[in-house]
Amino acid sequence: MKELRNRQQIQIGDRIFEKYLNRDTIRARIQELGREISIDYRDKDPLFVIVLNGAFMFAADLLRATSLECELQFVKLSSYSGTSSTGQVKQIIGLPETLKARHVIIVEDIVDTGKTIMSMITDLAAHDPASVSIATLLLKPDCLLFELESTYVGFEIPDAFVIGYGLDLDGRARNLCDIYQVVS
C-alpha cells in the first residue's frame, strides 16, 4: 500500500483510492447511531449479530457507543470477490442455538444490492426472533434492489467501490482508519 498526495490517496496494486470519509466523521456518526439504538432498545436485551469480516471495526465502535445491556455474536458469510459482486450469497455460520423471542440487530459494513442482508433476514426469521433490524455503516441506495425496513444507516454513499475501516480489497485494507473510494 502506497500513500499519495499528502495521504489523500493510496495505491494498492494498480488501483488508486481517494479518502472519502475520515475517521472523525465516522466516529461522530457512530456515536449518534449508538445513542439512537440505545433509546430504541432500552430494556429489550438485544442480540447484535455481527457479520465478519467487514463489520468488525464498525461493530467494536458501535457497541461501545451504546449504553445497553446486550449480547453479541459474530457470524460469517461472504458474497464478494475483487471489486464486482459475484451475486452469490452464502449461508450464515455461527448463529446462536436459539433466537426465539430475541430482538436481533444485524451489524453490517455495507449494503450494496441488499441481497446479502435480505438472505440473512430470511434465514433469521426462520428462528422466530421477536424482531430483526439492521445497522449498516454504509448503504448504496442506487444499487439497492429491495425495500429495507428497520435500518440504521451510517452513511448513504454513491455506487463506487470503497475500502478501509473494515472493508477490504481482496482481503487487504481493512485496517485503514478512514474510508477510501476507488478512483481508478
Catalytic residue among 61, 112, 142, 170: 112
Provide the 8-state DSSP code for 100. T
Contacts (Cβ under 8 Å, ≥6 apart) of 182: 15, 16, 17, 83, 160, 161, 162, 163
Question: What value, to the nearest 5°, has the Cα angle with vertex 98 and ends 95 and 101?
Answer: 120
Nearest approach in angstroms of CB 16 to ligand 5GP is: 15
14 is catalytic: no
At its nearest, how many Å lie between ligand 5GP and the CB of residue 66? 21
Under rule CB under 6 A, which residues in 108-167 are in contact with ligand 5GP? 108-117, 161-163, 167
Q: What is the DSSP string of 116-130?
A: HHHHHHHHHHTT--S
182/80 Cα distance (integer angstroms):
16
In the complex with ligand 5GP, the residue whose CB is nearer, 99 or 162, is: 162
- Least separation in angstroms between residue 177's CB and ligand 5GP is 15
Cell of 5: 498526495
Residue pointed to by grid coordinates 465502535: 61
Identify which of residues 41 and 58 has a Cβ nearer to ligand 5GP in the complex: 58
CA distance 63 to 107: 10
Residue 31 in the binding site for ligand 5GP (CB under 6 A): no
Contact mark string toward ligand 5GP, 61..80, x via CB under 6 A: ------------------xx
CB 107 within 8 A of CB 9: no
For the CB of residue 164, give the shortest distance to ligand 5GP in the complex, in Å.
9
Contacts with ligand 5GP in 84-113 (CB under 6 A)? 85, 108-113
Phi, psi (5° rounding) for residue 56? -60, -40
Catalytic residues: 112
- Interface ranges with ligand 5GP (CB under 6 A): 54, 79-80, 85, 108-117, 161-163, 167-168
